[in-house]
Every structure is written in C-alpha cells, then in structure tokens.
C-alpha cells in the first residue's frame, strides 16, 4: 500500500483502519506520546508556529509538504516504503527465500531487541536537544533542530507500530517503556551510552547530527536489508528523513569553520592554533573543534558494539540485519569461509588480524562509517583551505577514548600511539574538551531571533529551506 490515509488521528499507509484492534492500541498510546513530547520535547516552544516539513507520502517526488505548524499538532504517522514484489532475502541462512511478512517464531526475541534498541535512540535524541532552542544562533537553525526533533518523533512511531503489530503484549510493554526511559537519567537511562550524553551547545548538536546520526544511517541501512519485510520497509523510509539530519550537522560545522576562518583572516591571524587570540574575536577556534570531533566521533564508534560480536553474527545468520548496502557487496552473502581484517590490540600493538567475516560484521559496518566520515572531514578541510590556512581537522584513531569493544581497556592518543594510564590522564585534556572549553562554548550561546540575522560565531547557510529567502521567518516568535 502506498496511498497515505492522512485524515485519521495517526496518518499511515499501512491500512490501519482495517485493523481496529491495532488502531485502538496505537490511539491509546498517542496521548502518552503527546504528554512525553510536551514534557521532554523542545522546551518553551510548544505554542509557536514553526515552518516544518511533514511527510505525506512515500514517493520520491512530492513526498513532503512545508508549512507552519505548532509542534504538538505535527502529524506524526506510520509510513513504510512501497512493498517490492517478489522480494527475496539477500543474505544469511535464509538467502534466496521469500521475505517474511510475519515474525519468524525462532527469531522473535532477537528481532524485538533490534526494534527496541533502534526505537530507543529516537526519543533519546529529542531529550538530549530539548533546550537548544533557547540558544539558537538563528531562526534558520532553530527551525532545523525542531525539524530534526519531529522527525525523530516520527521514527519512534515507526518502531512503536512494529512493536504493537508484531510482538503482542511484550511489544506493547516495550512501547510503553520507550516513553519511560530518559536520556541521562541515573535510574532509567537510555539503552546506548551516546544517547545519555548532554548536548548543551550548538557545536555539540552539529557534531551529534554529523556523527551519531551517521551511525543511525548505517544502522538503518543495515536493517533495511532485513528479511523481515515490515522492518526493511520502515527503515528504508526513515532513511529519507535521516539524510536531512546529517545535512544539518555537516553544513552546521562547515558554517562554524567558515566563519572562524573568515574572522581570523580578516584580523590577520596567521596561526589558527593561537586559541586565545581567536577566542578573543568571539568565534570558535579550530583546535576546540578538533577536540569536539575527537569526543563525538569516539563516543559514536562505541555504538557499533564489539568488533567481534556473536550478537551481530547471529543477526546476520538469521537474515535479520545485513551489512551496509548488502546487495552491492561482491561475495556469497553468507560469509562461508570469508575473512575480514579487524584492527585489534595484540601484544601492546595495534595490528590488523584477519577474522572470520561472519564474526566481524560490526567491524565492517564501522569501517563503512569511517569512510563516510572521512568524506565529511574533507568538506570541512576544504573550507579551511579555501581561506588560506594549512590547518587540517582529522578523525582520531579508532582506539582513542573507547568504552566498548576491542579498545575499551586501551589508552591511545588520537594518532593511535598507545599510552600508559598515567600518561593518558595527564594528556587527555589536550585531546578532549575540558571545562574551560565547554564554558567558552556556552559563553557564545546566545539566542538570535531576528529573521535573517545570525550569531557572530556562525556563517549563514548558502541557501534557505525550500527556496525561502535569507530573512524568512522560520519560527514565529511573538514580539
């Protein structure tokens, strides 16, 4: 089904009206979601009209419309990508079999866990970002964080639909728990560590949407290969919206970089590493941006899990979760007798070891993520070079600042040099943001609400949203 029922309480293209029991269950969940949104969504902006994109279809062209809406009135819904006729499973033990329209009994617990973990990340990021509107550097940026938030809310709806429809009482209980956990809560934290970190400033937000949402892209793309067709179709459509989140992050950091370089050049600063002089001009110095890259990138790497993983192997074997762009990989898609190089800590050194590919699914997905991130760094470094500076931002070693996996017990510098714990403790503030860095960033975070104006520390975007002019009122803030 591709036509969207947009008149019901829950917009959908899954024939919800034909399943009254499911419809009633989701309609009972709806007010709890709205209560969560009003409590944990964007703080202080619930009654303002925001120029938002709302998904109204699943076709590549004309799938969304733009218009002013108050966020609690946003039309969240359940949208699946069109069903592929005669689609067959592309990988794992069940390769070549028709995809499943119902949950295979032997994989029920494993599949439910995959849905819950993905679902838990969606409200978590909204909670992490709920106060950013108060320090938005422009109405353009304020609107963008709200757009990211409402789309994360719709992605939550997609996972809740799967839990309600396919997992019975257990699924309904899991759906309720998605609204009970809270990002950073000591007693009821979100499942994954990166989603319990604070996002206190806009550079953190841009880094989060660059790196952590890029992990989301990798995970969604892997789930889009699933032999369980409803999950594959759900995540394929979610990828349509996820692209905007990464765009906000990539271009946001690029605008910060561009503004800093312009101000340095305009004031005759030759050395970008002269932090005090650069900060004295009211912009964010490049070394601090590098520290933020180091932090957000390393925390995001932990989301991929252990490099050698039985859980990932089992999910792949069960044909539940594939690899990034599985069908484009030139192998047997069952990984019989295949190996994959994995970076490991062995005898005090970082070395590449060929491991059975079926055990290294996480490591391969992480490599794909790193390749994607390197392309992003190239755009930021081009902005620096275009302003005549030789300074280069870089990704730290995958062994740097890790809490999960092969390197969780290793201390390593950004260049991969292994360190004794005492050396790491002495030097960590060279590489990760310290309190002074964070206080400086917070000192710049002042809200700008005049249409067309931007905070001093960030450059305007190269184009408006949906072709709007530079002074467009993206959020209607009462005078």
pLDDT 10s digits, 126-149: 999 999 999 999 999 999 999 999
Q: What is the per-residue pLDDT for 333?
A: 98
| Side-chain half-sphere exposure of 319, counting CA atoms within 13 A | 22
DSSP 65: E
State yes or no: pLDDT of 37 exceeds 80. Answer: yes
- H or E element at residue 416: none
Range with the lowest mean pLDDT among 90-94, 278-282, 344-348, 371-375? 344-348
Whole-Å CA distances, 428 to 295, 401, 424: 11, 9, 6
Q: How confident is the model at residue 308 (pLDDT cuts 50, 70, 90)?
A: very high
Residue 337, Ramachandran bin (φ over 0: left; ψ between -120 and 50: alpha; else beta): left
Confidence of residue 479 (pLDDT cuts 50, 70, 90): low
397 vs 7: which has the higher pLDDT: 397
Q: Which pLDDT tens digit goes with each residue over 173-191?
A: 999 999 999 999 999 999 9
Residue 299 forms part of a structural domain = yes
Q: Is residue 41 situated within a structural domain? A: yes
Residue 2 lies in a domain: no
Phi, psi values for residue 56, rounded to 5°? -125, 0
What is the domain extent for residue 98? 16-476
User: Which residues touch 231 (CB under 8 Å, ≥6 apart)?
Assistant: 111, 114, 115, 162, 223
Asked whether residue 280 carries a pLDDT value surpassing 70, the answer given is yes
Across the range 373-402, mean pLDDT stands at 98
Give a yes or no: residue 361 inside a domain. yes
Q: Is residue 3 part of a domain?
A: no
Work out the angle at residue 461's Cα, subtended by the Cα atoms of residues 478 and 250, and round it to the nearest 5 degrees. 115
pLDDT tens figures, 440-469: 999 999 999 999 999 999 999 999 999 999
Tell me the DSSP string of 7-54. Answer: SSSS-BSS-GGG-HHHHHHHHHHHHHHHHHHHHHSSTT-TTSEEEEEE
pLDDT given at position 4: 87
- Is 4 within the bounds of a domain? no
Domain CATH for 102: 1.10.620.20
Per-residue pLDDT at 1? 44
Separation of alpha carbons 188 and 195, rounded Å: 12
For residue 29, is pLDDT > 80? yes
Does residue 466 fall inside a structural domain?
Answer: yes
167: enclosing H helix or E strand: none
Indicate the number of domains in the chain. Answer: 1
For the chain, the average pLDDT equals: 96
User: 95 with 334: CB under 8 angstroms?
Assistant: yes
Among candidates 407, 320, 324, which has minimal Cα distance to 364?
324
Q: Examine residue 343 and state whether it is found in any structural domain, yes or no.
A: yes
């Amino acid at each position: 089904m591709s036509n969207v029922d947009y008149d019901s309480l829950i917009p959908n293209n899954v024939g919800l009206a034909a399943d009254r029991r499911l419809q009633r269950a989701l309609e009972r969940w709806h007010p709890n979601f709205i209560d969560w949104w009003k409590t944990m969504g964007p703080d202080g902006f619930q009654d303002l009209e925001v120029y938002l994109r709302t998904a109204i279809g699943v076709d590549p062209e004309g799938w969304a419309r733009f218009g002013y809406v108050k966020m609690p009135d946003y039309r969240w819904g359940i949208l699946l990508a069109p069903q592929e006729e005669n689609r067959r499973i592309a990988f794992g033990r069940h390769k070549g079999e028709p995809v499943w329209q119902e949950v295979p009994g032997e994989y029920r617990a494993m599949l439910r866990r995959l849905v819950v973990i993905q679902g838990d990340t969606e409200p978590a990021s909204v909670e992490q970002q709920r106060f950013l509107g108060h320090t938005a550097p422009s109405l353009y940026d304020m609107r963008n964080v709200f757009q990211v938030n409402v789309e994360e809310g719709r992605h939550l709806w997609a996972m809740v639909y799967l839990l309600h429809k396919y997992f019975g009482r257990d699924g309904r209980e899991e759906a309720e728990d998605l609204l009970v956990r809270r990002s950073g809560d000591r007693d009821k934290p979100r499942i994954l560590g990166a989603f319990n970190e604070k996002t206190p400033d806009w550079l953190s937000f841009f880094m989060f949407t660059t790196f952590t949402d890029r992990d989301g892209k990798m995970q969604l793309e892997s789930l889009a290969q699933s032999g369980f067709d409803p999950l594959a179709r759900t995540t394929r459509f979610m990828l349509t919206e996820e692209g905007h989140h990464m765009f906000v992050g990539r271009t946001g950091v690029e605008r910060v970089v561009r503004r800093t370089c312009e101000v340095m050049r305009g004031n005759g600063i030759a050395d970008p590493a002269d932090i005090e002089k650069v900060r004295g001009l009211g912009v964010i110095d490049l070394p601090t941006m590098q520290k933020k890259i180091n932090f957000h990138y390393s925390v995001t790497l932990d989301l991929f899990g252990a490099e050698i993983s039985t859980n990932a192997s089992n999910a792949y074997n069960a044909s539940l979760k594939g690899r990034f762009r599985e069908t484009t990989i030139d192998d047997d898609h069952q990984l019989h007798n295949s190996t994959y190089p994995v970076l490991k800590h062995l005898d005090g050194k970082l070395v590449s070891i060929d491991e059975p590919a079926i055990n290294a699914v996480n490591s391969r997905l992480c490599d794909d993520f790193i390749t994607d991130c390197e392309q992003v760094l190239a755009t930021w470094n081009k902005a620096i070079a275009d302003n005549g500076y030789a300074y280069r931002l870089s990704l730290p070693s995958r062994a740097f600042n890790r809490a999960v996996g092969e390197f969780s017990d290793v201390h390593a510098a950004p260049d991969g040099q292994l360190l004794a714990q005492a050396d790491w403790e002495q030097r960590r503030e060279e590489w990760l943001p310290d309190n002074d860095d964070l206080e400086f960033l917070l000192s710049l975070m002042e809200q700008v609400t005049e249409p067309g104006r931007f905070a001093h520390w960030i450059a305007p975007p190269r184009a408006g949203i949906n072709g709007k002019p530079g002074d467009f009122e993206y959020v209607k803030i009462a005078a």
